[in-house]
Amino acid sequence: MRIFLTGATGFIGSAIVPELLKAGHQVIGMTRSDAGARALQEAGAEVHRGTLEEPESLRRGAEKADAVIHTAFDHDFSRFVENCQKDSRVIHAMGEALKGSKRPLVITSGTGLGNSELGKPASEDVCNLEHPNPRVASELAGNALLDEGVNVSVVRLPQVHNTVKQGLISPLVEIAREKGVVGYVGEGRNRFPAGHLSDVALLYRLVVERAEPGARYNAVGEEGITTRDIAEALGRGLKLPVVSIPAEQATAHFGWMAMFAGLDFPASSEKTRRVLNWNPTGPGLLADLDAMDYGSLAA
């Protein structure tokens, strides 16, 4: 297939490109920069210029493809709600290009949308449209396109990691350096789900190849790692003390990360593994945190 991949030069997208190419697919990678274009060409992908601020540019990319994988997202969390709405507009634009065909559109969301109740592992069969996470806008857009006959499926992401980045955990490194301590909220029993980058890239390929309308998949290798265990791993790497932050002081300590730092959102991938025969093999989150070269990270 000719697959249009948004976010093709990003953390996750840059791992999906070789995964698709080695499986025999052609990749049309979206980028906004000359450096990104060079990287895509060197990887063996076709270049498509586009930006999330111009949904029409993504629609044009979708028009010339047999399938679309959408991983691009603006990660400026100071404008998180606005960026989730921007994602909705982009999804609708690409969906317009795919109407009247069976060409699949794989969009991206978060595992939290599969939570039916607090503390219960999120599942693929749940779509909690009342969830407070603004990323619900992405799944609402996907549902609207499904109703219009577009072949939409969803990959829900946990904390995607390798030894360079770890999703929402990466900002905790900068907060820890600023504060001089590694913090966790309360007793630190709340859990983050995780998935290794290589396993996540493989999952996107399996999902676009299956092309099942309305299907949702959890890219979860580990159901839940406690934030205290995460903080202790960061403390070892940064050589900083690890402390409990009272819940009432979380906003002052974590800033925008406070909305996530105390959440308990484990997630299951039992159905994803069974349906797609997907068996994660990458290192665990704590292993990657222990193997990370903290000295090479910008202080």
Nearest alpha-carbon partner for 47 in 62, 66, 32, 67: 32
**What confidence score (pLDDT) does residue 177 get?**
95
Q: Could you say which DSSP state residue 121 is in?
A: P
233 has a pLDDT exceeding 60: yes
Nearest alpha-carbon partner for 10 in 34, 37, 36: 36
pLDDT average, residue stretch 208-222:
98
Q: What is the pLDDT of residues 240-255, one digit of tens each?
A: 999 999 999 999 999 9
Q: What is the pLDDT of residues 141-170, one digit of tens each?
A: 999 999 999 999 999 999 999 999 999 999
Positions of E strands within 43-176: 46-49, 67-70, 104-110, 151-157, 159-161
Tokens of 36: 């990104």
**What confidence score (pLDDT) does residue 299 get?**
43
296 has a pLDDT exceeding 90: no
Q: What are phi and psi of 197, to 5 degrees?
A: -55, -45
Question: What residues does each domain of the chain span?
Answer: 2-160+194-222, 162-193+223-265+285-296
Positions of E strands within the chain: 2-6, 26-31, 46-49, 67-70, 104-110, 151-157, 159-161, 182-185, 191-196, 216-218, 222-226, 242-245
Looking at the DSSP bridge assignments, the partners of residue 245 are 185
Q: What are phi and psi of 9, to 5 degrees?
A: -105, 5
Tokens of 277: 């025969």
Nearest alpha-carbon partner for 72 in 26, 36, 96: 36
| Amino acid, res. 124 | E
Domain 2-160+194-222, CATH number (from 2.160.20.10, 3.50.50.60, 3.30.1330.10, 3.40.50.720): 3.40.50.720
Please tell me the CATH code under which domain 162-193+223-265+285-296 is placed.
3.90.25
Say if 2-160+194-222 and 162-193+223-265+285-296 have the same CATH topology: no
Q: What is the pTM of this model?
A: 0.95
The Cα–Cα gap between 104 and 215 comes to 11
**What confidence score (pLDDT) does residue 132 get?**
78
